[in-house]
Structure 1
Amino acid sequence: MSTVHETPDGHLACVKGAPQELLDRCDRIHRGGGPRPLTGEQRAEVLAAGDAMAAQGLRVLAVAQRSVGTARPAQQEAESGLVLLGLAGMLDPPRPEVVASVDACRRAGIRIVMVTGDHPLTAEAIARRVGIVRRPDPLVVTGAQIDALDEHGMDTLLARPGELLLCRVSPEHKMRTVAALQRRGEVVAVTGDGANDAPALKHADIGVAMGVTGTDVAREAADMVLLDDSFASIARAVEQGRAVYRNIRKFLVYVFTSNVGELVPILAATFTGFPLVPINAVQVLAVDLGSDVLPALALGAERPEPDVMDRPPRPRGERLFSWEVVRRILFLGAFQSLGACAVFFWYVNGSGIPYADFTADSPVYREAITMTHAGIVLSQFFASLAVRTDRESVLRVGLLSNRRLLAAGFLSIAFMAAVSYLPVLQTVFNTAPLDAVHWAVLAAFGALLLAADETRKWALRHRAARKEAGR
């Protein structure tokens, strides 16, 4: 950048820029109180000093000047035949939280590529300071080297594993980088604050602009704006996004698990020749609307799991209702169905009454379907605790860490107790009162479901640890 100033001795052009660029426009250097011819040895000395400053993470600018004859000189006149005044190094230290956020992104399987206009030494020093670069030999590529690459060469460059720094780049280079990553099927997020970042921000899958230091052009081109200009906010957003996606899956698993628990006992009664259903339509409606809704909503407020940022990104084409979700539904639904069927047929067979003699008004039948209904409600309470985490033990997360879920679960159990004991509701749901032994048996089946899922999670953690140790 060049500016022209009026002084008592005439007009003075002041120029600043990258040392390599500005030295080519200088033929003198300010030494010993005045201009002296700039020798080749002095040029090498200046460049070495600039590299030493850049290696410390400083952004280095050279400053030069010359006298001009008018307030509006031609660019060629103002920016040639300059007198080099010196170098200036500016330090923009990263925020303390950036190091931890970069490490979190690395553990989460997010690849960070630094794309900057800075000197390669400056870029590498800053990248090491924040943890983007850890190895002794990162791949450092300049804009001039990118210009020499065709599309295939660019794809090959970005496909190489390891740490990558792109330095001295132009807006076009940023665009080519984004396009090459997208051709590889990557989901690309770009951060930027200047007008020259706008094309890359617009072309990226997620453009993230700085809200404090960012230009209006960058903010308009971006999908998101960071109000605090902190990279840590990006890491937290990834964590929250993963938590929201997981919570939706937990909601699905929880709801469909009770559907399996309601369906299987009816099928079991049909195949065993029992003339009546183990749970009637009104009770099914009570489970779906009265007992499932509030806990399912409380699961939506579940906090991120401790290891949510230790997992790789999910595949881009993965469906929300995936095979992993179906397996979990079938696993928990099997235990819930086992409990519901066991308590129903245990009670029916224990009465000694032949199947053919049962009627809808039979006291034993009313008590049996009440057991089935209560068994599903209680097992759903334990299922809600189980689905809070995918791999971590719910004991590590803390049973009391989601108080909304506990309150919703106890409210569901209280509603079930009202259905069992209040005469008005007994008439509506065709239920009967249960004693303490019945509740204890039902709670044991629910606890069995939670214990089985905790065992499954332990096996997953053990397998993941062995895989990690084998690397």
Structure 2
Amino acid sequence: MLAFRWAGTTMSLCDPRIESQSPEAALSSFGSGSEGLTREEAVRRRAEFGPNRVEAVTRIPLWRTFLREFSDFFALILWLAAGMAFVSEGANPGQGMAGLGFAIIGVILVNGCFSFWQAYRAEQALAALRQLLPQVAHVRRSGETLALNVEDLVPGDLVLLAEGDKVPADCRIVAAWGLRVNLATLTGESRPKARSAKADAAAGGNVLVARNLLLAGTLIVSGGCRAVVYATGMRTEFGRIAHLTQTVGAAESPLQREIRRVSHLVALLALGLGLVFFLIGDWIGLPFWANAMFAIGIIVANVPEGLLPTVTLALALATQRMARRNALVRHLPAVEALGSTTVILTDKTGTLTRNSMAVRELYVAGAHHLAAPRWPRGADLRLRSVARFCHALKFPGGQPSGDPMEIALWQFAGEIPEPGGRIGDMPFDAERRRMSVLMAEPGGGASLWCKGAPETVLPLCLSWLDGDAERPFDDAAWQAFRCAHEDMANRGLRVLALAWKPVAEVAGADESGLRLCGLIGLEDPPRPDVREAVTRCHEAGLRVIMVTGDHPRTAVALAREVDLIRTPAPVVLNGEEVRKMSPAALQLALDAPEILFARVTAEQKMVIVQALQRKGEIVAVTGDGVNDAPALKTADIGIAMGRSGTDVAREAADIVLLDDHFATIVNAVEEGRTVFENIRKFLTYILTSNIPEIVPYLAFVLFRIPLPLTVIQILAVDLGTDILPALALGAERPHPDIMRLPPRPRQERLLSWPLLARAYLFLGPLEAFGAMMVFFHVLGAGGWSPGQQLAVADPLYLRGTTACLLAIVLTQMANVFVCRHPLLPTWRFPLLSNPLLLLGLVVEALLLLALVYTPWGNLLFGTVPLAGSAWLYAMPFGLLLLVAEEMRKGIVRGRQGAPLPRS
């Protein structure tokens, strides 16, 4: 059996960086050796350093988070109104104020629960991090090999690792054989890295590039080693990223900020109006408790109690639509936030690419060939034989397991009869950068198959294969293969040289005198629909920036292939450059029209996110590895891969792509943009009803008429009849041209002046006019005259308030049609295009009938059955609103000349 022997280099014991020390010095510095720690010393260190696990940071208990939802400014206004109602009931019993107080408390509870649902963050990242680490490790202690729980590992332990093992702690290799490690979970780079025990002073303290260090959570893909543990638990690189993930606060989404702003604005308006009109009532001599009831009515009428539940339910419906398009939403506000995104920071491996190596191109017989078509079996038999048999793969269950690059070569080669058994090998290592195997031939002798980096294999070749002929490996051949190598590498391919030679004597066989079969270029290919998705992002005004742990040349090649960059000279920054840049310099660098980042760490990716946010961008970040988790939490919207992503990335993200397709992000952006427009539609709808709820109280105070609408009836509208139609507006389908519009400006408000003017100065007054006309019509028909006061229980008064309620609901049923778009006519939106709208109107009508004609509706809401004449008198006012709003839309369209403005 041929074997490659490692030869270490002794470094000074006083060098503080463990990667710069020799293996012997590294063991000695931790008081360990070839026999490992003694059991007694291991127990002592366990007590000193603690368990090898990721610890949780102190968090606010869920019960405190829940209670906080009932003490925000929005809730405090309603608590004040409820308190006033109970005080009024105590001082003036029998006026129904106690029922009103309980109803307002019910509203507070509903809003608080929905707000808690929105704010709740299912912090499972810690559990996911623990699952990524192995549960058992093989350790040498007191000269014996033991299987220990990983939590019992301590600095100085000598661990034994083999292919397929996950690294349990940060370790310094002291002996290795053919060792390669997949660092994708920490660095995002898909290519396995060779590791050895040799001292690495060139690493400069960077543990991610040191060739003799193994980091917790990474995977051994081939070979094996002995390594000494130098960091455990939260002191590991893995633990540091876990700490970042736990301590980074989740960013508040644009919708959350806008809802908070709207809530504060409306609540202040309600409180201010209530106070002002209380003072007016006192000035005109209104009795104190009647005045208090009036103030409560003004507050309740101005607070849109159904806003938060309706927003939440609309977002929930949007999440269902997005789930059908393979985007799973974990945090509801992220739905709309994605629609306001201006920049997408995308990882390369597993996001834009398939996260699996594949043979892309060949250079054989002096020419380039694509690897897709299968050649005649004899034409490349030697090349394919090297690809098929020169590997360190294992085959559990008949399927290849090991280095993805070797699996790709094995699959590319196809079925080839094995000439004989393997009789020796020279494993791959970081120094030689190649591997060789000896295979017995059936007729005697053997063949040596070799693959590796071209710069290490080409100097060993004496000839090259031109079909069945051999050509001398002269200067011209050297130049041709070197140019082919550079050309393939510049296009982002990982290039390997494959060579072969017959061996007459196995003893003493070496790798000299090889016959070059050709070059193979491998890549992690892009997903088939990525290019189209990137194009849609450009059309939608979205900036897409690649941030990867891979090599800059590989990143640029892929970015060009998927049309991510189009100019000849994009700005390419590596992680080290980002680390040295000041925050201001990084922000200025991001002004470049096309920029991408390569070789970045977890912290650097997070810094890039923060720099974009300081520039006023709304940032969505995609990722799949542990290294992506801090950036996913820092971003406005974190998007994780559902299939290839780690649990850590998925738990840190707001949205999980179930199919891992970058194109799904664009679909989700479309849904998010639609959600914002739909929220504006139902915000217009529910704010419109505030005016017909306020006007009766103003008339009650200013004109000394009976109160046309009670507070409990206001709640019946806001939390009863209005909810489902408003929700139906939130379920409107995306407009066909919505992805051709640029991203919404960051400063654009949800509650804009055009929206307020339309709701409060046009639609609302039309509804208020209809409600008051119907109220006076019913009272006049019953013999009421101006100046006459009516008792609360008077049947005529009850018919009047019921009629006022009826008129508001009927005009709101007409209002839902005109609110489907602020400028396009109602007939452009067929009713059946939104089945929920039809259902909402039916339910609203049934609720209205229940309020008016059922005993429990009469009892709870102070209503009485109405004659058909009241309905006939109220209905034309809904038609009036519909016609007036369509006329306004037509006038505005004519002035603007724009068929599709924003909502």
**TM > 0.5 fold call:** yes
Is the counterpart of residue 330 in structure 1 residue 330 in structure 2? Answer: no
**Equivalent residue in structure 1 for 2:496, among 40, 63, 66:** 63
**Equivalent residue in structure 2 for 1:410, among 842, 850, 854:** 842
SS at match of 2:570: strand
Residue 547 of structure 2 contacts residue 600 of structure 2 at CA under 8 Å; is this kept in 1? Answer: no
Change (3 A) 1:202 1:35: farther
**Equivalent residue in structure 2 for 1:267, among 698, 723, 726:** 698
Gaps of 5+ in 1: 17-21, 68-76
Query: 1 or 2, which has the higher helix percentage?
Result: 1
Match of 2:451 in 1: 14
Find the aligned partners of 1:449 and 1:138 in 2 and give their Cα distance. 56
Match of 1:106 in 2: 538
SS at match of 1:213: coil
Find the aligned partners of 1:282 and 1:182 in 2 and give their Cα distance. 45
Is the counterpart of residue 140 in structure 1 residue 570 in structure 2? Answer: yes
Structure 1 stretch 26-35 or stretch 285-294: which is displaced more? 26-35
Q: Percent identity?
A: 34
Change (3 A) 1:263 1:219: closer
Q: C-alpha offsets along residues 200-243 of structure 1, whole Å, 9 cap, x if unaligned?
A: 55654444333333456755665543221111221222333344
Q: C-alpha offsets along residues 385-423 of structure 1, whole Å, 9 cap, x if unaligned?
A: 333445555433422233333233233334445666779
Is the counterpart of residue 31 in structure 1 residue 464 in structure 2? Answer: yes
SS at match of 1:373: helix
Pairing of 1:47-126 with structure 2 (within 5 A): 49-50=487-488, 54=491, 59-64=492-497, 85-88=518-521, 90=523, 92=525, 94-96=527-529, 98-99=530-531, 101-115=533-547, 117=551, 118-119=553-554, 122-126=557-561
1:36 partner amino acid = F
Find the aligned partners of 1:309 and 1:100 in 2 and give their Cα distance. 14
Structure 1 stretch 384-393 or stretch 457-466: which is displaced more? 457-466
Residue 779 of structure 2 contacts residue 797 of structure 2 at CA under 8 Å; is this kept in 1? Answer: yes
Pairing of 1:61-460 with structure 2 (within 5 A): 61-64=494-497, 85-88=518-521, 90=523, 92=525, 94-96=527-529, 98-99=530-531, 101-115=533-547, 117=551, 118-119=553-554, 122-128=557-563, 132-133=564-565, 137=567, 139-143=569-573, 147=577, 150-151=581-582, 152-160=584-592, 162=593, 164-166=594-596, 169-172=598-601, 174=605, 177-193=608-624, 201=632, 204-214=635-645, 224-268=655-699, 270-271=701-702, 273-281=703-711, 283-314=713-744, 326-331=756-761, 332-344=763-775, 354-357=785-788, 359=790, 369-390=801-822, 392-417=824-849, 428-430=862-864, 432-435=866-869, 437-448=872-883, 450-451=885-886, 454-455=889-890, 458=893
Q: What is the number of equivalent residue pairs in this alignment?
A: 437
Residue 815 of structure 2 contacts residue 882 of structure 2 at CA under 8 Å; is this kept in 1? Answer: no
Q: What is the CA-CA distance between 1:285 and the residue it aligns to?
A: 4.5
Q: What is the CA-CA distance between 1:263 and the residue it aligns to?
A: 1.3
Q: How well do the aligned residues superpose, as a CA RMSD in angstroms?
A: 4.7
Find the aligned partners of 1:244 and 1:278 in 2 and give their Cα distance. 36
Q: What is the CA-CA distance between 1:119 and the residue it aligns to?
A: 3.8
Q: C-alpha offsets along residues 305-361 of structure 1, whole Å, 9 cap, x if unaligned?
A: 445444444555777656565445314323222332344456778999741346469
SS at match of 2:473: strand
SS at match of 1:334: helix
2:707 partner amino acid = V
Find the aligned partners of 1:207 and 1:343 in 2 and give their Cα distance. 52
Find the aligned partners of 2:851 and 2:600 in 1 and give their Cα distance. 68
TM-score, with length taken from structure 1: 0.71
Q: What is the CA-CA distance between 1:432 and the residue it aligns to?
A: 3.6
Q: What is the CA-CA distance between 1:158 and the residue it aligns to?
A: 1.4
Find the aligned partners of 2:711 and 2:519 in 1 and give their Cα distance. 86
Residue 824 of structure 2 contacts residue 900 of structure 2 at CA under 8 Å; is this kept in 1? Answer: no
Higher relative contact order (CA 8 A, sep 6+): 2
TM-score, with length taken from structure 2: 0.41
Structure 1 stretch 102-111 or stretch 226-235: which is displaced more? 102-111
SS at match of 1:171: coil
1:287 partner amino acid = V
Find the aligned partners of 2:882 and 2:876 in 1 and give their Cα distance. 10
2:451 partner amino acid = C
Change (3 A) 1:268 1:388: same
Match of 1:73 in 2: none
SS at match of 2:621: strand
Structure 1 stretch 102-111 or stretch 315-324: which is displaced more? 315-324
Residue 824 of structure 2 contacts residue 899 of structure 2 at CA under 8 Å; is this kept in 1? Answer: no
Find the aligned partners of 2:788 and 2:632 in 1 and give their Cα distance. 74
Find the aligned partners of 2:821 and 2:747 in 1 and give their Cα distance. 23
Gaps of 5+ in 2: 1-192, 194-432, 440-445, 501-509
Residue 35 of structure 1 contacts residue 83 of structure 1 at CA under 8 Å; is this kept in 2? Answer: no
Find the aligned partners of 2:816 and 2:901 in 1 and give their Cα distance. 29
SS at match of 1:429: coil
Change (3 A) 1:7 1:189: same
SS at match of 2:493: strand
Structure 1 stretch 257-266 or stretch 361-370: which is displaced more? 361-370
Q: What is the CA-CA distance between 1:377 and the residue it aligns to?
A: 0.8
Larger Cα-atom Rg: 2
2:493 partner amino acid = V
Find the aligned partners of 1:357 and 1:221 in 2 and give their Cα distance. 65
Residue 499 of structure 2 contacts residue 518 of structure 2 at CA under 8 Å; is this kept in 1? Answer: no
Change (3 A) 1:335 1:84: farther
Find the aligned partners of 1:363 and 1:285 in 2 and give their Cα distance. 21
Residue 497 of structure 2 contacts residue 520 of structure 2 at CA under 8 Å; is this kept in 1? Answer: no
Residue 366 of structure 1 contacts residue 431 of structure 1 at CA under 8 Å; is this kept in 2? Answer: no
Residue 247 of structure 1 contacts residue 299 of structure 1 at CA under 8 Å; is this kept in 2? Answer: yes
Change (3 A) 1:306 1:458: farther
